[in-house]
Amino acid sequence: MSRDERVDHATSRSFANALALLTVEPRPCLLDLPPAELPVPSGAGEYRARQLASWLYQRGERDTVAMTDLPTAWRAELAERWRVDPFERAERFPSVDGSVRYLFTLSDSQRTEAVYMPYRGRKTVCVSSMVGCPAGCAFCATGALGFGRNLSRGEIVGQLLAVAWHEGFAPLELRNVVLMGMGEALLNYDAAIGAIRTMVASEALGISPRRVTLSTVGLPSRIRRLASEGLPLVLAVSLHAPDDATRRSIIPTAHAYPVADIVASLRDWQAAGGRRVTIEYTMLDGVNDAHWQARALAALLEGLVVHVNLIPFNPWKGSGFRSSPKERIDAFARVLEGERVRTSVRFSRGRDAGAACGQLALGGSGRADPASARRQRAATAS
């Protein structure tokens, strides 16, 4: 089946499913279960659970009836009681740079997004952990959208399978995942960690935890809890300012969590064996891009093993922010590098498709427009 046929197939299937939903509750989703706890016929051993996991996660099969080496009666029972795909509909918004934004409609008609980023020799997917986000960062279109709900374990890991299916490759080809889409993953802790455990399980996707990046706005107690999980993930912290006054002006959670507390939790993360931390820093013209802020950031991070990503602000309708000019971003980077802080300037992919960092806002076109998405969501709910 070609990619377009897959999208058509998914679309027509979504209409059929929408009709069914008028009268029937959706069946539970197999992806919500840990791979070792998949339902097997009574008396069957672990072998059967591994066999089913292989079909779901390694071959990316969505139709249990087509899992030909499983007993026929079990396949029929699975088809009757369970579903594989957690989404009713998937829409693709390709960017000129090759990345693709996916807009997924969930079984309760809420929507969330993922971004597929093919690089030479590696395929990366940025997944969401929520519908919208409660953190409300002022420069982020997702924050402006408000909070819809948490995603389940299956709805998070299902984004990877759906992207692979629609793009036409085996899920096992996916080796890099970033939880950096919609939502604050550490506020949906159990589902996010459950999804990561499915991603790294050898009987499921078998992705190295070192290739899974979890992004957080900086919640110290959750960072410490994450350090105790025994998962050598890459932790990315959206710091965006080195001082509390600036941070509070753009990130509401900064009122509860001072910068010093966040940095202390990062020291604990690294002391507990956690790996290098990535510091995300969106460059906002006249807000957080002054020379003194670069020096303060370098001083703050002293003694930590970090890499700073300076991200030129990606515009969206109604944001009220502009990106810092290139010369100021370069000057900021030079100050950090002069203080021996490893630094990159990271240009986001997928800007024209509303897929870049901070732009995810459920847009039905390439334009990130959270106000109109909010109106649409309210209309759907009423």
End-to-end CA distance of the chain: give it in Å, rounded: 37
Cα torsion 358, 363, 366, 372: sign: negative
Contact set with ligand SF4 (CB under 6 A): 133, 135-137, 140, 142-143, 182-184, 217, 238
* Shortest reach from residue 30's CB to ligand SF4, in Å: 28
Active site residue 184: no
Round to whole Å and give the CA distance between 140 and 130.
14
- Least distance CB 135 / ligand SF4 (angstroms): 4
| CB of residue 274 to ligand SF4, shortest distance in Å | 20
Is 40 or 133 the residue whose CB approaches ligand SF4 more closely? 133
Residues 364 and 358 sit within 8 Å (Cβ to Cβ): no
In degrees rounded to 5, what are phi and psi of residue 162?
Answer: -65, -40
Determine which one of 61, 113, 167, 280 is catalytic: 113
> Is-catalytic flag, 61?
no
**Which residue number, 78 or 236, has a Cβ lying nearer to ligand SF4?**
236
Q: How far is the CB of 381 from ligand SF4 (least distance, A)?
A: 20
Catalytic residue among 126, 137, 140, 357: 357
Query: By C-alpha distance, which of 135, 159, 160, 129 is closest to 147?
Result: 135
Q: For ligand SF4, which is the closer residue by CB, 209 or 358?
A: 358
Q: Which two tokens stand for residue 173?
A: 């080809």
Comparison of 28 and 252: residue with beta carbon closer to ligand SF4: 252
CB of 181 to ligand SF4, least distance (A): 8
> Least distance (Å) from ligand SF4 to the CB of residue 131?
11
The Cα 58–Cα 66 span in angstroms is 14
Token duo for residue 117? 């980023």
**What residues have CB less than 8 Å from 52, skipping those under 6 apart?**
30, 38, 40, 67, 70, 78
Which CB atom, from 61 or from 184, has the smaller least distance to ligand SF4? 184
CB 104 within 8 A of CB 33: no
Give the CA distances from residue 305 to residues 147, 281, 298, 342, in Å, rounded to whole numbers and listed in that order.
Answer: 33, 16, 12, 9
Q: 248: closest CA among 132, 138, 134?
A: 138
Which residue number, 70 or 131, has a Cβ lying nearer to ligand SF4? 131
Which residue has the closest beta carbon to ligand SF4?
143
Active-site positions read: 113, 357
